[in-house]
Amino acid sequence: MNAAVQPLSSLPGPPLWLLLELTYRCPLHCVFCYNPLEFERIDQELDTAEWLRVLEEARALGAVQLGLSGGEPLARDDLEIIVAEAHRLGFYINLITSGVGLNESRIAALKAAGLDHIQLSFQDSSQTLNDFLSSTRTFELKSKVAALIKEYDYPMVLNVVLHRHNIAHVEEILQMADRLGADYVELANTQYYGWAWHNREQLLPSRAQLQAAEATVQRFRERAGRPMQIFFVVPDYFERRPKPCMNGLGSIFLTVTPDGTALPCHAARMLPGLEFPNVKTTSVREVWYASTGFNHFRGDAWMKEPCRSCPEKARDFGGCRCQAFLLTGDAANADPVCDLSPHHHLVVEAVARADARGEEPAAMPMSERPLVFRSPANSSKLCP
C-alpha cells in the first residue's frame, strides 16, 4: 500500500508521539531491556544538528509529546541542547532515564532548558537485586537522583519493570516509592522484546506470582496516607485479548533510533520485508506518509483470519505485530495472546512452563539457560 494511492480521507493523522532513542550507550545492563540484541552493531549516532532537524520536522507535522530515551539519554552530552530546542518548538518533553549521570548541575541545566518531566527507573527495592538485575552498583545513586527530582520540583514518577526475579517484592517496591515521595509509580510487567525476549524463560512469572502482586497493589491503593498513583501494567501473556499495540502501527507513534532509523514502534526493526527509512536521508514527512514501513500495517488490509472478520479488530488492531512475528514467524498473524488465535497455545505453554517453575526465581537451572545481561560484549557475541 502506498500513501499516494490512498483516498485522502484515510490519510493517517499526525505522529503525535515522538520517541527519540538518542543512544544505545547505557551504563546499565538490564536483562529485560527491549533494545535490539544487535545494538552493538548499530554504533553510528545522529549528531546534534541531525536530532534538531528531526525535532523541527516532526513538530511541523504535529508531534507534541516527546520522549527522550535510549539506552541512557544522559550519555549524550548534547542532551541539554536537544531539550532546549524541543522546548522552543513547543514539545512536552519527557526524559526516560536510569538516573545515572543526573547530577545537580545537569538537572539544573535541563530544568532551565525546559524539560517538563523525568521518569526514573529502579530495578528493585533492594540494593542487592537492583544492582544484580542491572549488573551495576546504582541503587544508592538512584535514591539520590530521586531526591534531586523532588528538589527541582518535578513530579516524581518511578518506573519499575516487573518479572520473576522481583515480582515478589512489590510490597517493598511500593514502600520504597512512598519513602522517596513518588507521585506516580508505574509497575510495568516485562514485555518480551529484545533482551527480554532472549531471557523470557527466566523472566516470565507464574500466574500465582502475578495474582499475589496484583493483590498487593490493590491493598496499597486502598491504604490511607500520602496520595500516590499506582499504574499496574498487566502482562499480556496472561490475558485473553491482545493489547492495542501502539494504537495500531503508524497511527500516532514514531520512534527514531540512535542511527536515525525511523520505526513505527521501538521494536519494529525486527519486522521483515519492510523498509524503515533513515531520517538522515528521508524527511520525517516522507517517513510518516510514504514509507512501506509505516504504511504497511495501517488500516486492516494486511490482516488475516481470525482478525480480518473479527468485530474487535477496531479496538485492538490484531495486537502486536512484533509479538506475532516473534512467536509465529509471521507479523500478519493475530497476536497469539488472543485466545482466538490458532497460535494461542504458544502463549499458554510459556505460562504453563512458568507456572511449573513455581515461585522460586532460581528454580530453573541457570546452567540450562542463563540470564544474559544487555552488554556490548554479549551483543557482539549474540549478533556477530
Give the C-alpha separation, 152 to 45, whole Å: 30
Q: Which of 86, 76, 136, 139 is nearest to 106 (CA)?
A: 76
- Whose cell is 503525535? That residue is 16
CA distance 75 to 284: 25
| Nearest C-alpha neighbor of 331 from the set 257, 253, 267, 258 | 267
Side by side, the strands of the sheet bearing 65-69 are 229-233, 184-189, 157-162, 117-122, 92-97, 65-69, 17-21, 253-256, 262-263
Give the one residue of 23, 35, 69, 94 binding another protein; rule: CB under 8 A. 94
**CA distance readout (Å), 62 to 8, 10, 25, 101:** 18, 17, 29, 31
Answer for which of 11, 43, 49, 62 binds another protein (CB under 8 A) is 62
329 belongs to the binding site for another protein (CB under 8 A) = no
Among 10, 90, 151, 211, binds another protein (CB under 8 A): 90
**What is the x/- site pattern for another protein, positions 173-212, by CB under 8 A?**
-----------x----------------------------
**Stretch of 57-65, 75-83, 217-225, 294-302 contacting another protein, by CB under 8 A:** 57-65
* Distance from C-alpha of 384 to C-alpha of 382, rounded to nearest angstrom: 6
Single out the residue of 23, 35, 69, 119 in contact with another protein (rule: CB under 8 A): 119
Single out the residue of 14, 299, 306, 376 in contact with another protein (rule: CB under 8 A). 14
Query: Should residue 244 be labelled a site residue for another protein when binding is judged by CB under 8 A?
Result: no
Alpha-carbon torsion angle 181, 374, 265, 85, nearest 10: 60
Nearest of 360, 382, 42, 377 to residue 209 by alpha carbon: 360
Near another protein by CB under 8 A: residue from 23, 36, 67, 164: 67
Residues binding another protein: number (CB under 8 A):
16
In whole angstroms, what is the distance from residue 183 CA to residue 201 CA? Answer: 33
Q: How far is the CB of 191 from another protein (least distance, A)?
A: 16
Window 15 to 44, contacts with another protein (CB under 8 A) = 16
Is residue 255 near another protein by the rule CB under 8 A? no
- Out of 22, 30, 42, 61, point to the residue binding another protein (CB under 8 A): 61
- In angstroms, give the least distance from the CB of 55 to another protein: 15
Site for another protein contains 112 (CB under 8 A): no
d(CA 333, CA 7): 26
In whole angstroms, the minimum distance from the beta carbon of 12 to another protein comes to 12
Interface with another protein by CB under 8 A: which range of 58-66, 73-81, 160-168, 267-275? 58-66
Element (H, E) at 129: helix 127-134
Where do we find the cell 494504537? 247
Binding of another protein by 92 (CB under 8 A): yes
Among the listed residues 333, 321, 189, the one whose alpha carbon sits nearest the alpha carbon of residue 268: 321
Among 53, 88, 106, 117, binds another protein (CB under 8 A): 117
Residue found under cell 519527557? 94
CA 118 – CA 67 distance, rounded (Å): 10
Q: Which of 2, 155, 315, 383 is the binder for another protein (CB under 8 A)?
A: 155
116 near another protein, rule: CB under 8 A: yes
Q: In angstroms, what is the minimal distance from the CB of 382 to another protein?
A: 31
Is position 229 an interface residue for another protein (rule: CB under 8 A)? no
Helices vs strands, H then E, count in the chain: 15, 9
Minimum Å gap between C-beta 354 and another protein is 29
Residues near another protein (CB under 8 A) are 14, 16, 61-62, 64-65, 67, 90, 92, 94, 116-117, 119, 155, 157, 184
